[in-house]
Amino acid sequence: MKTNIKNLLLPIISALIIFIFSAAYVFGGQKDYSEAERRLLNKFPEVSLSSVSDGKFMDDFESYSLDQFPARDTMRSIKALTEFFIFGNTECNGFYVEDGHLVKIEYPQDDSMLDYAAAKFKRLCEMYFKDKNCNIYFSLVPDKGAFLAEKAGVLSFDYDNFADNMIQRLPDMNYIDIFPYLSADDYYTTDPHWRQEKITDVANALSEAMGNPLSDSYETVKLDVPFYGAYYGQAALPKQPDDICYLTNDTIKGCTVKKLDDKTGEFVYSEMYNMENANGRDPYEMFLSGSQPIMVIENSNADTEKELVLFRDSYGSSLAPLLAESYKKITLIDIRYIDSNFLGAFVDFNETDDVLFMYSTLILNSSTSMR
């Protein structure tokens, strides 16, 4: 190529790139929501004399221009691929890839977060279970980094040490160790959660430790939807979707599920597996309808009168249906979505036999979301 042709082509191509993107901004319209990032996007800010003079318009415009950038998801993928394949980085945006899994780096261990969570659990016991004849357990759900970080050579906290630290902070609770029943294969590759069809041994271990071994078998139902998990959008790397399955049997089918309607304060009927959510933005939200402050699973066919209160995060949504066999009633409480001081207004704790605090290391290491 002759120099004069290069001198012609280079500014024209570069200008075209800039002008095409600019035109796409103007004519491309605005999106409300990013499916990949699972968040609302900033839209063109309101223009007013005050917003311009105090700089708010400019700040909001910066956010709008980043969020509404044409082909934003593709651009994010270009960045992630450049990080991994050109810069040879082991991580991008806090994510790494190992054994086909997208994994979020969890590091370092934040002891203040563990203190906060332990204090919150102790206070819940003090408020609602003091002088009651119930057994109190806690269990930790390792994030999948526990099985992949060392192999990938990325920074990761010591999960045994993490568990020991929590055991020391909760000396009056019985710790149920589920780490031995888990491996990386038990998790979705594009999502942080575990796969329900892979955790029957975990459910059994928990149930057995609480004195109620499970005996039911399950039918596995595979959904006909591609599951692009939460990490898929955040990591912005090209990746095949997961499949998503759920387990069912007569016990599960026979259960009644209710959820607290946070608008009315009343319990309304819900579903163990919400098929509308399965086809929605986050198929994992099919399990007990996703993020809910309080859910109740009632098993009127149970051979027992025992009741379980499960303080949990989203990992509990897919596990709880498997515990239904062992209890007449399971009350699931997610204190990220309800102030723990007000639980007594919605839940009667008097008949509680077992209390299980089951939280993932992800939530415990960032526990200020607990209210």
Partner 1 sequence: MYFFIPCVLILYYIAPKKLKNSVLLLSSLIFYAWGEQKYTILLLISILFGYIFGLLIGKTRGKTVSRFFLALSIVQNLAFLCYFKYADFFISNFNAVTGLSVPLLKTVLPIGISFYTFQILSYTVDVYRGDVKPQKSFINLAAYITMFPQLIAGPIVRYSDVESDLDQRSHSFEKAAYGTRRFVLGLAKKVLLANRLGEICDIFRASGEQSVIFYWLYAISYTLHIYFDFSGYSDMAIGLGNFFGFNFLENFNYPYISKSITEFWRRWHMSLGTWFRDYVYIPLGGNRVPFLRNIFNILVVWMLTGMWHGAEWTFIIWGLYFAVLLILEKLFLLKYLKKSKILSRIYALFFVIIGFVIFNASDLQQAMHDIYSMFGFGDLPAISKETIYYMRSYAFTLIIGIFAATPAAKIIAEKVRSKKSSFGEKTMNVLETIVVPALLVICTAYLVDGSFNPFLYFRF
Please tell me whether residue 118 adopts helix, strand or coil conformation.
Answer: helix
Pick from 28, 44, 48, 82: which binds partner 1 (CB under 8 A)?
82
Cβ 214 to partner 1 shortest distance, Å: 41
7 is a site residue for partner 1 (CB under 8 A):
yes
| Residue the block writes with tokens 């605090």 | 357
**Euclidean distance between CA atoms 206 and 211, whole angstroms:** 9
Which one-letter DSSP state was computed for residue 100? Answer: T
**Residue 79 binds to partner 1 (criterion: CB under 8 A):** yes
At 17, list the tokens: 């790139």
Q: Report the nearest approach of partner 1 to the CB of residue 87 (Å).
A: 5
CB 64 within 8 A of CB 56: no
72 is a site residue for partner 1 (CB under 8 A): yes
Q: How many residues bind partner 1 (CB under 8 A)?
A: 47
Angstrom distance (rounded) from CA 119 to CA 326: 29
**Residue (52 or 119) nearer to partner 1, CB:** 52
Is the bond preceding 108 in cis, omega lying within 30 degrees of 0? yes
Question: What distance in Å separates the CA atoms of residue 115 and residue 111, rounded to the nearest whole number?
Answer: 6
Residues 328-347 that bind partner 1 (CB under 8 A): none
Residue matched to tokens 């609602």: 128
What CA dihedral angle connects 61, 67, 71 and 73, to 10 degrees? 160
Is the Cβ of residue 49 or residue 345 nearer to partner 1 in the bound state? 49
Segment near partner 1 (CB under 8 A), from 75-83, 165-173, 202-210, 337-345? 75-83
Interface pattern 229-268 for partner 1 (x via CB under 8 A): -------x--------------------------------
The size of the chain, in residues, is 371
Judged by beta carbon, residue 8 or residue 221, the one nearer partner 1 is 8
- Told to check if 49 binds partner 1 by CB under 8 A, we report no
Q: Is 47 in the site for partner 1 (CB under 8 A)?
A: no
Closest listed residue to residue 248, CA positions, set 187, 212, 196, 297: 196
* Binding residue for partner 1, selected from 62, 99, 185, 348, defined by CB under 8 A: 62
Contact between 89 and partner 1 by CB under 8 A: the answer reads yes
Residues 6+ apart with CB under 8 A from 241: 190, 226, 227, 228, 232
Q: How far is the CB of 93 from partner 1 (least distance, A)?
A: 7
> Residue from 65, 291, 301, 369 that binds partner 1 (CB under 8 A)?
65
Query: Hunting for tokens 């149930």 — which residue is that?
Result: 207
User: Helix, strand, or coil here: 108?
Assistant: coil
The residues, ordered by sequence, that sit 6+ positions from 331 with a Cβ below 8 Å of its Cβ are 294, 295, 296, 307, 308, 309, 310, 347, 352
**119 interacts with partner 1 by CB under 8 A:** no
Minimum distance from residue 224 beta carbon to partner 1 (Å): 32
Span from 19-27, 209-217, 243-251, 335-343 in contact with partner 1 (CB under 8 A)? 19-27
Nearer to partner 1, 157 or 359 (CB): 157
Alpha-helical segments (H) within 153-286: 159-169, 200-209, 230-235, 250-254, 275-278
**Least Cβ distance, residue 6 to partner 1 (angstroms):** 4
Site string for partner 1, 154-193 (x = CB under 8 A): xx--------------------------------------
Among residue numbers 98 through 117, which ones bind partner 1 (CB under 8 A)?
A: 108
3-class DSSP state of 39: strand
Q: Is 362 helix (H, G, I), strand (E, B) or coil?
A: helix
The residue ranges that bind partner 1 (CB under 8 A) are 1-11, 13-15, 17-19, 21-22, 25, 52-55, 58, 62, 65-66, 69, 72, 75-76, 78-80, 82, 87-91, 93, 108, 153-155, 236
